[in-house]
Structure 1
Amino acid sequence: MKKYLFIAVTVIILAVVSYFAFVYYVPYSEGVRSGELIKISHKGVVMKTWEGELSQGITGAQIFKFSVSSKRKDVIDKLKEYQGAYVKLNYEERYTTFSWWGDTKYFITEVKLEKSPHFNN
């Protein structure tokens, strides 16, 4: 009986660890989006996460919501600096997320300042 209980507990633990490892290390997709950075905030009561929004059109209908890993201090600093500017964001889309990671499945990996196509300077 103890042998079967040990095997069952081991299988459950391996399944949970495998699920978390898959979600953490395997991105669903990777991409690039450009637009005006309209929001970056550190929000939450118990688990603080970095969240932002990128406007991809003239109207407010095309908003790309994203999260930033707290480990990415360089990305967070650039997002704060480029607030209100036209930027290009590289991101990874995850299969799912957890509340301590962020609100969205899109996680920013790199930020670059871009010239806006709406203004000819």
Structure 2
Amino acid sequence: MINVMIVDDQQPTRMGFSLMVMKDPALRMTLQAGNGQDALDILAALQLHGQSLPDVILMDVRMPVMDGLDATARIKQLYPSIRILILTTYDQDSYAFGGIERRSFGILA
């Protein structure tokens, strides 16, 4: 079973992704957060209480408080075993390439 966390500032988007995740018997929807800082706070609380961390995070790029790129960099530093899929509906290449180029994500050597 793969535990999934969804981080997106739009509640309807989180709901839609949750419904898709729940349709796959190999996936379990475990957590949701409305921005990158909330995600970090949730992960820290889980770790503090000895609870399981998600295996995968579906991370939106543009969010208030802390965007997905900054949150991804911080999560990869603190929780390197968590895999993160960065999501965006924006058609600007800078969002996608900005995420790929960050060495702290563990994508580039």
Q: TM-score range by the shorter chain?
A: under 0.3
Query: Which structure has the greater CA radius of gyration?
Result: 1
| Structure richer in strand, relative to its length | 1
What is the TM-score of this pair, normalised by structure 2? Answer: 0.22
- Greater helix share, structure number: 2
